[in-house]
Structure 1
Amino acid sequence: MTQQSQFALLGKKRFLPFFVTQLLGAFNDNIFKQSLILAILFKLNTGVDRDLLVNLCALLFILPFFLFSALGGQFGEKFAKDALIRKIKLAEVFIMLAGAAGVLLDSLPLMLAVLFAMGTQSALFGPVKYSILPQHLKDEELVGGNALVEMGTFLAILAGTIGAGIMMASSSYAPIVAGSVVGVALLGYLASHGIPRAAAAMPTLPLDWNIFRQSWVIMKLGLGQRPAVSRSLVGNSWFWFLGAIYLTQIPAYAKEWLHGDESVVTLILTVFSLGIGLGSMLCERMSGHKVEIGLVPFGSIGLTLFGMLLWWFSGGFPQGATPHDWLALLGHGQAWWILGCILGIGLFGGFYIVPLYALIQSRTAEHERARVIAANNILNALFMVASAIVAILFLSVAGLSIPQLFLAISLMNVAVNSYIFKIVPEFSMRFLIWLLGHSMYRVEHKGLDAIPDEGAAVLVCNHVSFVDALLIGGAIRRPVRFVMYYKIYDLPVLNFVFRTAGTVPIAGRSEDLLIYDAAFKKIAEYLRNGELVCIFPEGKLTGDGEIDEFKAGVERILEENPVPVIPMALQGLWGSFFSRDPHKGLFKRFWSRVCLVAGTPVAPEQAKREALQAQVAELRGDWR
């Protein structure tokens, strides 16, 4: 099956108008917010403490996410999402008209009120923003679509922050900023008219206008989802906790530890944002166009590693007679190590966050999706507030330095994600599968579109190595329940993976009748539930690379559960490290090229073991 790059989505009407709409919204939010902060610090005459006003800005923008995310989740279920987005974007035009008036009049109260209104608009838009994607994208496009949204969001934040700085540097900043925010809002509203129809998921949902009661109900709905979804909400919010700490401390870090000026702050923000954008873009290729949650532990490891390295390389940076600008900073070798660490944090942050968003979207029922994402937004806001409290406690109370704070949150990352991966071992299991498929083996796929997207089916495949199930499970988008010899099932380390994946251990009838009978009962249960079951009809690993005789178990399964059968073949595994070839060559031990081939589905009444064996042998060909 030919896979297109995620960038192909930018040429499709079902994605591009939405992408442009949300990009312009993030860009506009940050132009106004950063312009207001810079105006408070450098332009406006006020008797109020400037640091207090800057912190008030942060509070006014985040408070609406506590108050109105639940309402946004209800709106996202009850109304057509395309029409709802247009109404929200129209509201942005009027909000920015008020904001422009505040800038032109130098009215701080009006600008603060507009900032609160912007936060409200963002809180209402967030649940619709992420819940509309599964309605317009195919399953194999979901990771790529989320990657583009994350990349666009962070680059828009960066562009808005830098753009605000450039505009505020002008002596006639007021008309420039006022015209920009209104113009961008109008462009966003116009772009929203291109978003295709996205029907309401639950049009009969009664609206509860009690925002506190509904916020509590929606939080219970989100955290009451199946563990993979509820813990993904926690992991998603934890990412925003980390991000908030890094982004908040970057200005002080650049000034106090790198002895840099404002251009150094911009350089670090640029590197961080580009890292997240690059990580987001690489997610689709690394996940094989499917929701691959195995990337989440990989991202978590990178976040910890590069956070610790950032602490390690900080300190002792040479100080000049005047603060370094960004070019002078790059003249020091130590700066390249520090920027590399910041790039790594952003890169692995992209690996961490994109699969979590895609998992939440793909595994939440359509009629609950917007409200679950609203719960995620509330949780994000809570974690971002907690990040500010933690930073104050660590820096002011405990007396840690900023690099030591980075080290502390890197170690906290280990604890938080260990908890998540313990509760949902599927993350670790998928990581091991992903790691195997991207280290010791180069896995190619052919004909896997023959496997149905839903409904029960039996997959039959030749059995070549101890890791056949891992390679097959990593290649197929749907969860696969494997049936395997119980002694392979009990192998150390691999047993954790097989157990987590719901693998069925089986023994020969004469070997252990209880295991034998229990296996067929479990297989029947999986097939009744519409799942995929994969069996290795040879009953054992090949000892010579050839396909052994298929046993009668496959026919018994189909007699009791008449479902389609998809023959498959593994090519190139014989002689690899985990095969039983006594003459394993050095070249075949690592980075072996293997291929999984699927054939045409076979009706259950025609799926006799001899015929299936012949089809699998034909699919495998001469490449053992």
Structure 2
Amino acid sequence: MSQFGLLGKRRFAPFFWTQALGAFNDNAFRNALVMLVAFQMGLDDRTVGLYTNLAPALFILPFFLFSATAGQLAEKYEKSRIIRYVKLFEIVAMTLAAYGFYTHHTPLLLVVLFMMGMHSTMFGPIKYAILPQALKNEELVGGNGLVEMGTQMAMLVGMIAGNSLMLVADVGPMLASGATIAVAVAGYLASRRIPPAPATAPDLKFNWNPFSETARVLGITGADRAVFNAVLGISWFWFFGTVLIAQLPIYTRETLGGDGSVNTLVLTLFSIGTGVGALLCEKLSGKRVEIGLVPLGAFGLTAFGVDLYLARHGLAATRGLDWLAFLHGAGSWRVVLDLTAIGVFAGFYVVPLFAFVQSRTPRERLSRVIAGNNIINALLIVLAAAFGLALGRLGMDAATIFLLAALLNVLVAVYIFTLVPEFLMRFITWVLVNTLYRVRVDGMQHLPEEGPALLVCNHVSFMDALLLMANLRRPARFVMYYRIFNVPLLRFVFRTAKAIPIAGHKESPAVLQQAYDAIDAALAEGELVCIFPEGGLTADGEIAPFRPGLEKILARRPVPVVPLALRGLWGSVWSRRDTRLGRMRLPRRFRARVELVVDASVPPQAASAASLEARVRELRGELA
């Protein structure tokens, strides 16, 4: 099923529309408030500057104060009920906003802005914690992609609507009020269709002290290093995005020479790009949580960020261009491409990170980890605002600030990928496998979602472990011949994936015993372990007899066995079909179509070398 099929499912669609309508209202109200203060109240520039700078601070403050409390609520209580209370709160806030718009009561509107910050704060931990409860593992990336796309589009339309409605002569405040109240009511009605999402930690002892709970939530968020660094990556995305969006109006006016319509155009390009990138993640990842896309996203952010500076910097020779005149200008389409591509690669970057956090964090802690993520996000958003303000005070133009953010992205990416080599390992694996093969997977639903299992597979090429690594939905520990384990470049991948090197008894009894011990320890920890029981690559395309080592493993640690079969690899890159001289030629089956077939698990007491060999032969069929 395509990810768009989720929009027809009750377990996803009501939540999707509730989230999108909330994102719309956040941005419509904020932009309507800015338009009212800046253009319709006759205030002097100093007062306008005070309000426009105070507004973002009031919106972000609740994330620091109440995120930890929101995380506790989302775990202790049923989530759909909390969502309905949050949406009722939004209706109250928008009703107060209507009175504030009508009377031009700015302090009241600032209070409402704080309330909308509370609305987003309370909704945040639920938003990402509810998805793993509602979606299957193979739907998680697609669901996150849809949520990110819907959020980006809703934010964009909300910004445009808030600006446009408030600027309508005489009736602007009434139109903006009516629209935001109507959307809040629609969001509440949509939330009533969200199916129940049971509490994941109903016995959680509630801590009402926001400061001590914030410290505890940050400790929980940092407990798993890989998850914490994914959170840092998400927060960096918000830093980068905040710098970009904050500078776009200045960039539009001073560097592109455009008017408000050009500002809307560049915002639209970035938002559409992010939505497209988010949606592409499912196809590129094969419906798995593929963090190999994260380094690709980081590379794209830097490459197109630098090119955006090279395409246009300095002061524009002409000012006041509308969007059509801008597009007809020399070099404008390069700017269009860069802004869209930055959005696309931002989608590649952030969607897998959210899916990774959701898939790696235990359900009973996920809401609090998301709350910790929101706290760190808020901190990075504040730092981004200070970053842009400080560089602007130093005399740097918006294009130069974009360039510095793009270059800083390199340092942040290297830092994160050095701390968690798994990100880079998955990227190398993803690139290699998708460059060399076109893979079809069948039967992945048979792979256990949790708990230990022994995977047994036929062995056709030197790339078998990488191919499985790139396509299995759960991480697995691969047992491989120690000489393959030590191949340059791939050694980094195998070590990072915690592969287990093995040798024959005659070659090294010590290495063989260490391998058996490592296999047993991995299974005891509830991990998947994959072995190639033939003991070596096939020399003729046929499956060799399975060796009795797998029976030794099961005798020591009885676990379910999952038969796997690789099809279509014989004669492809790095198989042994040709002579040694022939293998030096360009492979005839580059980008080979191959298949991975996963069968139902076999109980340990029914598993033997002979029976598993017969089953893998049957799965493999005639397509070697």
TM-score, length basis structure 2: 0.96
Partner residue of 2:272 out of 257, 269, 274: 274
In the alignment, structure 1 residue 261 sits paired with structure 2 residue 255: no
Tell whether the 8 Å contact from 1:9 to 1:16 is kept in structure 2 after alignment: yes
Aligned ranges 1:363-402 → 2 under 5 Å:
363-397=360-394, 399-402=395-398
**Aligned partners of 2:255 and 2:316 also within 8 Å:** no
Give distance in 2, aligned partners of 1:566 and 1:204: 36
Following superposition, the deviation at residue 495 of structure 1 comes to: 1.0
Assess if the C-alpha contact under 8 Å between 2:444 and 2:473 holds in 1: no
Alignment pair present for 1:447 and 2:446:
no
> Could you tell me how far apart the structure 1 residues matched to 2:107 and 2:80 are?
33
Paired residue secondary structure (1:463): coil
Query: Bigger shift: 84-93 or 209-218?
Result: 209-218
Structure 2 residue 564 is the aligned partner of structure 1 residue 562: no
For residues 208 and 591 of structure 1, the distance between their equivalents in structure 2, rounded to whole angstroms, comes to 56
Q: Which residue of the other structure, out of 74, 79, 82, is the alignment partner of 2:80?
A: 82
1:141-290 pair list within 5 angstroms: 141-171=139-169, 172-223=171-222, 225-290=223-288
Q: CA deviation at 1:480?
A: 1.0
- Matched-pair contact (CA < 8 Å) for 1:421–1:427: yes
Match in the other structure for 2:317: 319
Residue 317 of structure 1 deviates from its aligned partner by 8.0
Alpha-carbon separation, structure 1, partners of 2:158 and 2:367: 27
1:11 is the counterpart of 2:8: yes
How far apart, CA to CA, are the structure 2 residues paired with 1:602 and 1:60? 58
- Following superposition, the deviation at residue 394 of structure 1 comes to 2.3
The residue that corresponds to 1:545 in the other structure is 541
Establish whether residue 357 from structure 1 lines up as the match of residue 354 from structure 2: yes
Q: Which residue of 1 aligns with 2:98?
A: 100
The 1-side partners of 2:470 and 2:442 are apart by: 14
**Is the CA contact (8 Å cut-off) linking 2:35 and 2:167 kept in structure 1?**
no
Specify the SS of the correspondent of 1:439: helix
Distance 1:214 1:365 in 2: 19
SS in 2 for 1:588: coil
Pairwise CA distance, 1:215: 1.7
Amino acid at match of 1:623: L
- Residue 422 (1) aligns with residue 418 (2): yes
Conserved 8 A contact 2:314-2:397: no
1:67 — aligned with what? 65
- Aligned equivalent of 2:477: 481
Contact preservation (8 Å) 2:243, 2:388: yes
Letter in 2 for 1:619: L
Code of the aligned partner of 2:80: D
Match of 1:505, SS state, is strand
Corresponding residue for residue 590 of structure 1: 590
SS of residue paired to 1:200: coil
Q: Residues 126 and 570 of structure 1: is their aligned pair in 2 closer, same or farther, counting only changes over 3 Å? A: same
For residues 259 and 474 of structure 1, the distance between their equivalents in structure 2, rounded to whole angstroms, comes to 47
Distance 1:544 1:420, change over 3 A: same
Q: What per-residue deviation string (whole Å, max 9, x for no partner) do you get for residues 484-540 of structure 1?
A: 110111111111111111111000111101101111111111222222211111212
Q: Spell out, residue by residue over 1:83-120, the C-alpha distance to the aligned partner (whole angstroms, 9 max, x if none).
A: 11111111111111100000001111111111111111
1:333 Cα deviation from its structure 2 partner:
4.1
Using the alignment, how far apart are the partners of 1:448 and 1:128 within structure 2?
A: 29
Give the structure 1 partner of residue 623 of structure 2: 623
From 513, 520, 524, the counterpart of 2:516: 520
Q: Is the 8 A contact 2:32 2:163 kept in 1?
A: yes
* Structure 1 pair 498–200 and aligned structure 2 pair: CA distance change class (3 A): same
Q: Which amino acid aligns with 1:601?
A: S
Give the distance between the partners of 1:569 and 1:333, measured in 2 at CA. 55
Partner of 1:458: 454
Range moving further from structure 2, 602-611 or 538-547: 602-611
* Amino acid in structure 1 at the alignment position of 2:521: E
1:608, CA displacement in angstroms? 2.8
Q: Which amino acid aligns with 1:603?
A: P
Runs of 4+ aligned residues of structure 1 deviating over 4 Å after TM superposition are: none
Q: Is the aligned partner of 1:292 residue 2:290?
A: yes
Q: Is the 8 A contact 2:313 2:400 kept in 1?
A: no
Residues 196 and 606 of structure 1: is their aligned pair in 2 closer, same or farther, counting only changes over 3 Å?
Answer: closer
The code of the aligned residue for 2:3 comes to: Q
What is the CA-CA distance between 1:221 and the residue it aligns to?
1.8
More displaced stretch, 163-172 vs 578-587: 578-587
How far is 1:587 from its partner? 5.6
Alignment TM-score, normalising by the size of structure 1: 0.96
Does 59-68 or 307-316 show the bigger shift?
Answer: 307-316
Structure 2 CA distance for partners of 1:150 and 1:510, relative to 1, 3 Å: same
Q: Helix, strand or coil for the counterpart of 2:218?
A: helix
Alpha-carbon separation, structure 1, partners of 2:217 and 2:93:
27
Instruction: Give 1:600 shift.
Output: 4.1
* CA displacement 1:462-497 (0-9 Å, x = unmatched): 212211101011111011111111011111111111
- Cα distance in 1 for partners of 2:552, 2:149 equals 51
Distance 2:589 2:307 in 1: 32
2:69 and 2:589 map into 1 onto residues whose CA distance is 56
* 2:187 maps to amino acid: G
162-171 vs 244-253, greater mean Cα deviation = 162-171
* Paired AA for residue 186 in structure 1: V
| SS of equivalent to 2:361 | coil
Aligned residue number for residue 17 of structure 2:
20
Note if contact 2:453-2:559 (Cα within 8 Å) is conserved in structure 1.
yes
RMSD: 1.6
Query: Which residue of structure 2 aligns with residue 55 of structure 1?
Result: 53
Question: 1:134-182, CA deviations, whole angstroms, 9 ceiling, x for partnerless residues?
Answer: 1111111111111111111111110001111221221110111111111
Between 364-373 and 513-522, the greater mean CA deviation after superposition: 364-373
User: How far off its partner does 1:291 sit?
Assistant: 1.2
* Structure 2: unaligned runs, 5 residues or longer: none
The CA deviation at 1:209 is 2.4
TM superposition shift of 1:16? 1.1
The alpha carbon displacement at 1:450 in A equals 2.6
In structure 2, relative to structure 1, the CA distance for the partners of 1:450 and 1:71 (3 Å cut) is closer
- Per-residue CA shift, 1:382-401, capped at 9, x if unaligned? 0011011111222322x333
Tell me, in whole angstroms, the C-alpha distance in 2 between the residues paired with 1:249 and 1:617: 61
Give the % identical residues.
49
Return 5+ residue gaps in structure 1 as ranges: none
How many Å separate the matches in 1 of 2:355 and 2:231? 11
Corresponding residue for residue 491 of structure 2: 495
Give CA deviations for 1:438-461 in whole Å, capped at 9, x if unaligned: 211111112232322223222221
Shift of 1:318: 6.4
Quick one: distance in 2 between partners of 1:202 and 1:511?
51
Q: Distance in 1 between matches of 2:441 and 2:206?
A: 47
What secondary structure is seen at the aligned counterpart in 2 of 1:508?
A: coil
Give CA-to-partner distance per residue, 1:196-242, whole Å, 9 cap, x none.
1112222333332222222222122212x211111111000000000
1:438 partner SS? helix
* Separation of aligned partners in 2, 1:96 and 1:608: 67
CA distance, structure 1, for counterparts of residue 561 and residue 119 of structure 2? 51
CA-to-aligned-CA distance 1:394-422 (integer Å, 9 cap, x gap): 2322x333222112111111111111111
